[in-house]
Structure 1
Amino acid sequence: MGRWEPDARERLVLAALDLFSEQGYENTAVAQIAERAGLTKSTFFRHFRDKREVLFGGQEVLTEMLGNGVAGAPEGAGPLAMVEAALVAVSAGLTEERRAHGPQRSAVIASNPELREREALKMVGFATAVEDALRERGVSELDAVVAAELGVLAFTRGYTTWLKTGGDFAEVARRQLAEVLEAVDSLQRAE
């Protein structure tokens, strides 16, 4: 039985993360990434549009999973139950491999303003997908916006926790959504 070998895409991601960590995102060229991975520059561009996409590849899949999670929630579910269904659905895309590289990826993003902006735009995309799916299910505009934003907050907090603790992302996200909702309840009682 042979040893597992990463495919070209995985090799490029690993090489890029190492180089970004070693010399900074700004100081790393696509050619260096390809060379470190033992591949050609043209192979890099078959997998990614640019070096930024190494960090954000798969965003479209997660966005689709969120929308599908809302759409697949049981009939009669309320907006927050639909948001929970979206968080559970996205857990299928959050693999152990993704978790293993998550802290390094997060550190690279945190070190660069352009990448932080791109990460923020990703979260806007997630919120929009959930909001649109909620509205398609008949949720009013304002309720859909608020539920989607609370869901993204739970996702962000859940992702950070999951990177540290591992486990089932769906359970981590459910706990984070419950904590976010407790905070909202606490804020209302403080008025």
Structure 2
Amino acid sequence: MGRWEPNARGRLEQAALELYAERGYEQTTVAEITGVAGLTERTFFRHFADKREVLFAGSGRLEEICVHAVAGAPGSATPMEAAAAALDAAAGVFEERGDLVLRRQGVIDANAELRERELIKLASLSDALAAALCDRGVDELTAGLTAEAAVAVLKVAFRRWVDGGREPRLRQLLAECFAVLRTESARGAVAP
């Protein structure tokens, strides 16, 4: 094995996902992942802080896609329209990687520690969306509420997409969830 290994990160991600799906996350060791990938544990830890992060390595890229989409939304777009554009861009990535996303989610759903990590990553996405909206001149309160609502829409639509075996398309489910949110918001808040 040479010093430089092509696509080491991708090989580690693939090996980990295969082992997690087959044996379970908790029963899989870093040594087993690196063995399947044909790499060393040292290489693993150059790419990932721990074995959880193998499943969440794309979170930073997802944030970048969303932030870029918010920044690229038309100047006339409302904060929610800009956030919807961000989720639409993210949906494209999820849809392209469909089977892989479903397998990954199955592993996450089977482990409480991974579900907790996913919530932390979603909170980070919300923070990134709020910051991107503030960069567009949206006030902090509106940006924060919009970002949280958008992440809630993503969670509900994504769950429906996963549970439905990727049907209907995630973009369609996001649009439906945003439509329900708009309708309910238009009704106004009712005091108890």
> Normalising to structure 1: TM-score of the pair?
0.81
Query: Which range moved further: 68-77 or 21-30?
Result: 21-30
Report the equivalent of 1:78: 78
Confirm whether residue 105 of structure 1 aligns to residue 118 of structure 2: no
Distance between the aligned counterparts of 2:46 and 2:92, measured in 1?
A: 25
Number of residue pairs aligned between Structure 1 and Structure 2: 185
Match of 1:22 in 2: 22
Listed one character per residue, the Cα deviations across residues 73-121 of structure 1 (whole Å, up to 9, x for unaligned) are 1112111111111112323432533x21223222222232321221111
Distance in 1 between residues matched to 2:178 and 2:17, nearest whole Å:
30
Letter in 2 for 1:176: C
Letter in 1 for 2:114: L
Gaps of 5+ in 2: 1-5
Distance 2:36 2:152 in 1: 36
Q: Partners in 2 of 1:87 and 1:118 — Cα distance? A: 20
Contact 1:66 1:86 (8 Å CA) reproduced: yes
* Cα distance between partner residues in 2 of 1:133 and 1:154: 18
Determine the C-alpha separation between the residues in 2 that align with 1:9 and 1:172.
31
8 Å contact kept, 1:70–1:134: yes
CA distance in 2, matches of 1:106, 1:39: 25
- Which residue matches 2:41? 41
Write the letter of the residue equivalent to 2:32. Q
Instruction: Classify the secondary structure of the residue corresponding to 1:121.
Output: helix
Give the Å deviation of 1:175: 2.6
The 5-angstrom pairing of residues 1-191 of structure 1 reads: 7-97=7-97, 99-163=98-162, 164-165=165-166, 169-185=170-186, 188=189
Superposed CA deviations along residues 42-84 of structure 1, whole A, max 9, x for unmatched, are 3333432321111001111111211121111111211111111
Deviates more, 1:56-65 or 1:137-146: 137-146
**Partners in 1 of 2:167 and 2:62 — Cα distance?**
18
Residues 95 and 169 in structure 2, CA contact (< 8 A), matched pair in contact too: no
Identity %: 41
SS of 2:137 mapped into structure 1: coil
Q: Give the Cα–Cα distance (whole angstroms) in 2 for the partners of residues 187 and 18 of structure 1.
A: 47
Equivalents in 1 of 2:15, 2:44: separation in Å? 11
Which has the higher mean CA deviation after the structures are superposed, 170-179 or 99-108?
170-179
CA contact (8 A) 1:87 1:174 kept: no
Q: Which moved more, 1:14-23 or 1:80-89?
A: 14-23
TM-score (norm. length: structure 2): 0.81
Aligned to 2:3: none
Equivalent pair of 1:68/1:89 in contact (CA under 8 Å): no
Contact 1:84 1:151 (C-alpha < 8 Å) held by counterparts: yes
